[in-house]
Structure 1
Amino acid sequence: MKIVIIGDGKVGYMLAKKLSEEDYDIVLIDSNEKKLGEAMNRLDVFCVTGEGGSVEVQKSAGVPEADLVIACTSTDECNMLSCLIARRLGARHTIARVRNPIYFKQIDILKEDLHLSMAVNPEMTVAGEISRLLLVPSASKVETFVKGRVELIEFPVIGDSSLVGMSLAQMYAKYQIKVLVCAVERESNVFIPDGEYVMQAGDRLHMAASHAEINDFFKTLGHKKAQTKIRRVLICGGGRVSYYLATRLCNMGMQVKIIEKDSEKCENLCEILPKVTIINGDASDHDLLIEEGIGETDAFIALTGMDEENIIMALFAQSQQVPKVIVKINEERRARMVEDFGLDSVVSAKTATADAILSYVRARRNSQGSANVETMYQLVDGKVEALEFAIKAKTRYTDIPLKELSLKSNNLIACIVRNRKIIYPSGDDCIRVGDNVIVVTMEKQIQDIEEILL
């Protein structure tokens, strides 16, 4: 499968890295020759220097023979134009990164006219991720499957937790709540555990369940955050993520306040977000944060364009006992450092965008098979993948009790969704045509459930 990526920025480079590791034929286009040289030295990709919106550049990159063109430059107009030209030249599918709220409001029209296969809005994707975290305050990450019916959450086991010293089998028996621990991260090690796994302080559990069951689980454990209903939210930074997030939170009935130091941005936000309190000021000023009621807020979200600034503000919010603190980090290498500080809810626009596009690519590659990848998330720095398969046709593993199927090690069929019902499978359950099946695996580049069977 030949894929052409236009734009060697953070998202473009991450996509090129991940897709080249999966043995796709990758061509990278960018006008910055130095950046392309660095990419060629580090990745197994072919590079073409030039503007992505140029017909000649696209031809030299082999766009007419491409299965997919992904335009992810910093400019929406360039991305849409590049995709239009790519389709005219013969590319089979195109994906454009579109960030401007005005464009995204009419994305259905644009997709039709430009023949886009997919449009990705990184800021809107991150806003959705943050809003899910506010609905499950005890979790440090929340991903969704089967149109939100199943959530995969990550949370740390703290030192005084009742889970410390308890096996997973004992936990299931004691609490009688339908949840399933799919993966555990302990220091630098990752496990897909069985019932005998004994939890320790510092473990990071990845758990699948419905939204209601997850909330019930945390309340039963007595988590303080689970008792907190988020009503008042303080956002630092007035960029696009803040706009999309504030719009969502207002629709959910929350009180939202945004602090932004650019006066022009503040005026614009006042016009487009009439229900939100907009403060023109420097959110890194601790006195200002105290004056604006950081001590009484339920959630603090640091969304400026500077990682260091976000970290410092989030640490201050943590020191003020804010129940839920979320920080946006652009550089991957800083994410782990932030978690060491105790700031466990970290979001990244480029990671969310890359996951969305990778899910689409996986789905295209196996669209003729018996199962289709609907959703895919990478966990624990890519060491674990959680995939949602839609079962489209009868195969050797359908209608067979799971106890008669042998799975390779480090693989788990986490749950089956059938007619909106969530099934945590036992050995007597089976997979049927029409089911959505969530698989957690430490294998790489899984395309079909067949690949996790012996």
Structure 2
Amino acid sequence: MKIIIVGCGKVGTTLAEQLNNEHHDITIIDKNTAVLSAITERIDVMGVVGNGAVYKVQMEAGIQETDLLIATTNSDELNMLCCLIAKKAGNCHTIARIRNPEYSSETRYIREELGLSMAINPEMAAAMEISRLLRFPSAIKIDTFAKGRIEILKFLVPDHSKLHAMKVRDVLDKLHCTVLICAVERGEEVIIPSGDFEMQAGDKISIIAPPAESTEFFKQAGIINNTIKTAMFVGGGKITYYVAKLLENTKIQIKIIEQNADRCNELSELLPKAMIIHGDGSDQELLLQEGIRQTEAFASLTGFDEENIMLSLYAASQSKAKLITKVNKIAFENVINSMNLGSVIYPKLITSDSILQYVRAMQNSMGSNVETLYKIVANRAEALEFRVMNDPAIVGIPLEKLRLKDNLLVACINRNGRIRSPRGKDVIETGDRVIIVTTNTGLNDLKDILK
């Protein structure tokens, strides 16, 4: 597909990289010549210097032949204007990044009136992930399929767990739970495990199951999943505001530490149920005074990665709280993953994954049948939900007889809302929804699972 991205910030650059990896024809528009040159030298994309909201600039970028325009500049208003002009000039699909909380309640109206295909709010998307994690504290990451009927949960195998030294094939007999272990991260390795694979303490394991089964699995495996009653957030930015709003009607007591006095006053009015503390969140004395040792969840959500990492490491040394760490740069992902930072939230990756899902869905009308896509491990393992067409190479053939690619697992079959964990004798039928987990990234069609 031909795609134009307006804005070379963190989200725009991440999107350009990921969409380029999937062999789309990408053009980037940005006013900054130096930034544009740096990106076009590093990845195979076209660059156009100029204001993306100017008709002439969009024409130069080839808007009339474009399938999708994505506006990710720092200005919501500019993003909306870019999409409006693109809709008129190229009659293409449009996606705008809209971050201002004032617009959040009007997103549907804006989308309909401007003809936007999608309006994405990175901070809201990150906040939704954080609120899910606070409701299921044992998980590092949670993704949902089939309208919430299926979940992929990632968790760390604790020391002395029943799962330590247990083979994948023994999980059903020993724990009496029909969950499927679909990916294991051990150090820098990402493994799609076979039945003989032996799990170890310290592994990060992704399971796929209906919510009730995953809850039972954690219970049987002896992994504590207590409900969180108290949460401490450092940094009173947009993400913190959205999380507090999402948790407003729960029993979680929220404490927010913010350095800026004006922002504290603002948050006090916006979040009457939360306790707002004016102070420096990196002050150890203040954190101890405010109860970091007693809090059940700790989220470092400031605008500085280094501060967030140090705060989470300090919280880990002082308490057993569920940790959530916001990180914007992903350059040192392997180093970050080796630290005890709990659930690491990358707002720009969440945003680009959402847009990537939409791009894959757009391709449905062009021959692809991907319904949903999640990155289990950034750029290294994916979980994809396919809609099954009448493909004689796959339909009606027992799974054990299909020549599947290596490092690929048929994780789940959704047949008319009934969820089943497939075995070798099971067959895929037309109309099914099938979830595939694989390290072979960039699959577009269900038949791509075959060798």
Q: TM-score, normalized by length of structure 1? A: 0.95
Aligned to 1:60: 60
Question: Is the aligned partner of 1:111 residue 2:111?
Answer: yes
Give the corresponding residue for 1:209: 209
> Does the Cα contact within 8 Å between 2:379 and 2:441 map onto a contact in 1?
no
Q: String of CA shifts for 1:376-409, please: whole Å, max 9, x gaps.
A: 1123231111111233x42223344333433122
Asked whether 1:320 is paired with 2:307, we answer no
Q: Which residue of 1 aligns with 2:348?
A: 350
Give the Cα separation in 1 of the matches to 2:276 and 2:329.
Answer: 28
What is the CA–CA distance in structure 2 between the aligned matches of 1:270 and 1:185, rounded to whole Å?
41
Contact 1:366/1:448, CA 8 A, preserved across alignment: no
Letter in 2 for 1:215: T
Number of the residue aligned with 2:272? 274
The correspondence of residues 354-373 of structure 1 with structure 2, limited to 5 A, is 354-369=352-367, 372-373=369-370
The residue number in structure 2 matching 1:376 is: 373
What is residue 149 of structure 1 aligned with on the other side? 149
Aligned mates of 2:448, 2:255 — CA distance in 1: 49
Distance 1:29 1:169 in 2: 51
Give the drift of 1:241.
0.5
Q: Which residue of 1 aligns with 2:387?
A: 390
Match of 2:242 in 1: 244
Partner of 1:440: 437
Q: Is the 8 A contact 2:292 2:319 kept in 1?
A: no
Partner of 1:69: 69
Residue in 1 that maps onto 2:222: 222
307, 310, 319: which one pairs with 1:309? 307
Q: Secondary structure at the match of 2:355?
A: helix
AA paired with 1:85?
I
Residue 407 of structure 2 is matched in structure 1 by 410
| Count of aligned pairs between the two proteins | 450
CA contact (8 A) 1:338 1:344 kept: no
Is 1:86 the counterpart of 2:86? The answer is: yes
Q: Distance in 2 between matches of 1:290 and 1:202?
A: 29
Quick one: distance in 2 between partners of 1:344 and 1:360?
A: 29
**What residue number does 2:45 align with?**
45
State the alpha-carbon separation in 2 of the partners of residues 21 and 193 from structure 1. 25
Output the CA distance in 1 between the equivalents of 2:277 and 2:417: 44
2:128–2:243 contact (8 Å) kept in structure 1 = yes
Other structure's SS at 2:369 match? strand
Flag structure 1 segments of 5+ consecutive residues without an equivalent.
Answer: none
8 Å Cα contact 2:315/2:321 also seen in 1 = no
Q: Report whether the alignment pairs 1:3 with 2:9.
A: no
Give the whole-Å Cα distance in 2 for the aligned partners of 1:70 and 1:424: 37
* Structure 2 unaligned residues grouped into runs of 5+: none
The answer to whether the aligner puts 1:450 opposite 2:447 as a matched pair is yes
Q: Do 2:414 and 2:432's aligned partners in 1 also have CA atoms closer than 8 Å?
A: yes
Structure 1 distance, partners of 2:436, 2:366, is 19
Please state whether the residue corresponding to 1:366 is helix, strand or coil.
Answer: helix
**8 A contact 1:390–1:436 mirrored in 2:** yes
2:322–2:342: 8 Å Cα contact kept in structure 1? no
Is contact 2:233–2:240 with CA below 8 Å preserved after alignment?
yes
Cα distance in structure 1, aligned partners of 2:16 and 2:250: 37
Q: 1:386 to 1:437 in 2, by over 3 A?
A: same
Question: Given residue 262 of structure 1, which amino acid in structure 2 is its aligned partner?
Answer: N
Instruction: Quickly say closer, same or farther: Cα 1:87–1:350, change in 2 above 3 A.
Output: same
In structure 2, distance between residues paired with 1:143 and 1:91: 33
Deviation of residue 368 (structure 1)? 4.3
Structure-1 separation of matches of 2:12 and 2:91: 18
1:453, distance to aligned residue in structure 2 (A): 2.0
Contact kept, 8 Å, 2:167 with 2:198, in 1: the verdict is yes
Specify the SS of the correspondent of 1:26: strand
After superposing the two structures, state which structure 1 stretch, 118-127 or 414-423, moved more.
Answer: 414-423
CA contact (8 A) 1:294 1:322 kept: no
Q: C-alpha deviations, 1:127-151, integer Å up to 9, x for none? A: 1111121122122111111222211
The residue type equivalent to 2:43 in the other structure is L
Percentage of identical aligned residues: 47
Q: TM-score scaled by structure 2?
A: 0.96
The whole-number CA distance in structure 1 between the counterparts of 2:405 and 2:201 is: 29
Contact 1:186 1:203 in 2 (8 A): yes
Q: Secondary structure at the match of 1:295?
A: coil
Q: Could you tell me how far apart the structure 1 residues matched to 2:188 and 2:310 are?
A: 26
Which digits, 9 at most, give the CA deviation of each residue in 1:159-211, with x for residues without a partner? 43222222111222200111111111222322211111111233221111122
Per-residue deviation, 1:340: 2.1
